């Protein structure tokens, strides 16, 4: 029996006099991939930051594994690995050094073989792993950041525009990786403006427009969510 790993319950968030999220409600079941789809300024990243406890709701609440984030921030953060759109990595360190350092900050001791396994999963070529990140493309840096999220080995992944900077082949590899993680029981909430990518990888998509949920789509038992249907709804808010 599955349970909801993430719940937004009538969530409203304001910044100054501006309402960023307006009574948003959704749940993400354990082992599923949920995509929050919207354009710039829709409130996608704000939703993730609220689950992480960096932003406090005006009303409503967010739950992580049935625990209210406002009531036990440490426990909820421990359950989550977060991948920001532009992860901050050290230019003067190589991939191994970056991953070892950031994991040590979380109290995680890791073997080199485990790092290689994670870098294999994100398809970072062996020959680049000992090179300084200043020599990396944006896509290569994103792969290191994704590997860091995987090495945290949490049950829940929050991903902010995770395919930003990746080439088409790397995007396809990433979608395969997300599918594998879901099959392993990982719960994934990703925010994106990529309609096609969301339809390829998500079990459910919620469409966020100007801080409000305006549509939801579910994948059939076999196959993916229909891109055309989602694109049609997504385009309504951009015309």
**Could you report the per-residue pLDDT of 132-161, keeping only the tens digit for each?**
999 998 888 888 988 888 888 888 999 998
Q: Are residues 225 and 167 in the same domain?
A: yes
Asked whether residue 196 falls in the same domain as residue 217, the answer is: yes
Q: Domain end: 132, 153, 174, which one?
A: 153
Q: Give pairs for 231-238: CB < 8 Å, separation 24+.
A: 231/195, 233/207, 234/37, 234/39, 234/195, 234/207, 237/39, 237/209, 237/210, 238/39
Q: Which of 111, 133, 153 is the last residue of a domain?
A: 153
pLDDT confidence bin for 1, thresholds 50/70/90: very low
Q: Specify the pTM.
A: 0.87
Shared domain for 64 and 7, answered yes or no, is yes
Helix then strand count (H, E) for the chain reads 8, 10
How many domains does the structure of the chain reveal?
2
Contact in structure between 9 and 63 (CB atoms under 8 Å): yes
- Contact between 120 and 176 under an 8 Å Cβ cutoff? The reply is no
Same domain as 160, residue 149:
no
* 112 in the same domain as 139: yes
Domain span at residue 123 reads: 88-153
State whether 148 and 236 are in the same domain: no
Q: Would you give the end-to-end CA distance of the chain in angstroms?
A: 42
State the pLDDT at residue 69.
94
């Amino acid at each position: 029996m599955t349970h909801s790993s993430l719940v937004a319950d009538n969530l409203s968030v304001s910044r100054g006099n501006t309402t960023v999220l307006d009574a948003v409600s959704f749940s993400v079941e354990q082992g599923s991939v949920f995509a929050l789809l919207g354009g710039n300024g829709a409130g996608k990243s704000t939703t993730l930051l609220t689950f992480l406890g960096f932003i406090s709701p005006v009303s409503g609440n967010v739950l992580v594994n049935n625990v209210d984030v406002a009531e036990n921030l440490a426990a909820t953060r421990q359950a989550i690995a977060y991948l920001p759109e532009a992860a901050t990595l050290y230019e003067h360190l190589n991939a191994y050094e970056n991953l070892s350092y950031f994991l040590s900050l979380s109290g995680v001791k890791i073997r080199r073989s485990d790092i290689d396994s994670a870098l294999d999963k994100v398809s970072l070529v062996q020959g680049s792993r000992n090179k300084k990140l200043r020599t990396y493309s944006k896509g290569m840096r994103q792969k290191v950041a994704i590997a860091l999220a995987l090495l945290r080995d949490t049950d829940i992944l929050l991903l902010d525009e995770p395919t930003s900077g990746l080439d088409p082949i790397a995007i396809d590899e990433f979608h395969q990786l997300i599918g594998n993680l879901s099959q392993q029981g990982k719960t994934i909430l990703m925010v994106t403006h990529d309609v096609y990518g969301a339809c390829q990888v998500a079990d459910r998509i919620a469409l966020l427009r100007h801080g409000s949920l305006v549509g939801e789509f579910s994948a059939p038992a076999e196959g993916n969510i229909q891109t055309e249907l989602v694109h049609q709804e997504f385009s309504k808010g951009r015309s």
